[in-house]
């Protein structure tokens, strides 16, 4: 048992965690000492951030440049009508603090990009990618791999979602995001939520999967999604996973890498 113990108030707040044999007080202390960075406070970030805050993840960073729009409210449940026009990071932080005032929240009202990804991600233990574009996903993937930070990634559109955990730095057989998606598709051919729609709760399902995997990773529990791509189909209410493999020609984690901290995000 650690010399540091939970306070009486913490034991009451996190009681349903503590009574889990797989978590107990030691596990809850791990959560309280963990630092997680969330990229995006939108459809995926909303449920993930709410559950991470409620779970007692001690330090949470939020990166998002956008403001709350009325069209967000159909699925971005961390925001409300009262926050229309407010920055998403501050709106999200207010809701998280209302749920759990003892955690520390860092707000970064900015776009994630090659100029700031390394410095931001270096400060955290794990990263959750809830961005909605390939450029950001490549940058985040590259920075996480080079800094040896686990990356919980997800994406969604219409009635479908996908998720995977990337830890290619741990094994010569594990893929990174680029191994599965080596090239950015033509933007005109990529369906986006703002053009083809999204069933609101699909964002909730995938964001909760991200939060669950991150908590498991912090606690060292169960079998994670590394090396697997989980696919969710709400129309048929099916969930399955497919194995993913490292691409030996990957520009980031392959046999002859060309991507460094100086050119992350390059496609």
How far the first Cα of the chain sits from its last, in Å, is 47
| Pairwise pLDDT comparison (205 vs 1), residue with the higher score | 205
Neighbours of 13 (CB within 10 A): 17
User: Per CATH, which fold does 34-243 belong to?
Assistant: Rossmann fold (3.40.50)
Which residues sit opposite 129 in a β-bridge?
39, 153
104 in Cβ contact with 233 (< 8 Å):
no
Tokens (6 digits) for 62: 């939020």
Find, among 91, 49, 56, the residue nearest to 208 by Cα: 49
Helix (H) or strand (E) holding 162: strand 160-166
Q: How far apart are CA 200 and CA 262, in angstroms?
A: 38
What was the pLDDT predicted at 1? 42
> Hey, is 87 helix, strand or coil?
strand
The pLDDT tens digits of the residues spanning 55-83 come to 999 999 999 999 999 999 999 999 999 99
Q: What is the pTM of this model?
A: 0.95
Residue ranges of the domains in the chain? 34-243
The pLDDT tens digits of the residues spanning 115-145 come to 999 999 999 999 999 999 999 999 999 999 9
Alpha helix ranges (H) inside the chain: 8-13, 15-18, 24-33, 45-55, 88-99, 117-121, 134-147, 177-180, 193-196, 200-219
């Amino acid at each position: 048992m650690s010399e540091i113990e939970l306070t009486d108030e913490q034991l009451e707040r996190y009681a349903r965690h503590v009574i889990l044999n797989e978590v107990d007080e030691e596990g809850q202390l791990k959560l309280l000492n963990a630092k997680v960075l969330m990229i995006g406070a939108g459809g995926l970030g909303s449920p993930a951030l709410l559950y991470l805050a409620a779970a007692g993840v001690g330090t949470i960073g939020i990166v998002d440049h956008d403001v709350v729009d009325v069209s967000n409210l159909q699925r971005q449940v961390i925001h409300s009508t009262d926050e229309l026009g407010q920055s998403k990071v501050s709106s999200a932080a207010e809701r998280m603090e209302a749920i759990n005032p003892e955690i520390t929240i860092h707000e970064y009202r900015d776009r994630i990009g090659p100029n700031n990804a390394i410095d931001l991600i270096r400060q955290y233990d794990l990263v959750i990618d809830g961005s909605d574009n390939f450029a950001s996903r490549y940058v985040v993937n590259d920075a996480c791999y080079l800094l040896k930070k686990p990356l919980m990634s997800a994406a969604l559109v219409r009635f479908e979602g996908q998720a995977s955990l990337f830890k290619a730095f741990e094994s010569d057989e594990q893929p990174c995001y680029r191994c599965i998606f080596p090239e950015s598709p033509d933007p005109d051919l990529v369906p986006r939520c703002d053009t083809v729609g999204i069933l609101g709760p699909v964002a909730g399902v995938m964001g909760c999967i991200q939060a669950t995997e991150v908590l498991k990773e912090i606690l060292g529990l169960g079998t994670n999604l590394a090396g697997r791509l989980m696919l969710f189909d709400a129309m048929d209410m099916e969930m399955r996973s497919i194995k993913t493999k490292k691409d030996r020609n990957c520009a980031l984690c392959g046999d002859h890498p060309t991507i460094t901290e100086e050119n992350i995000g390059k496609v």
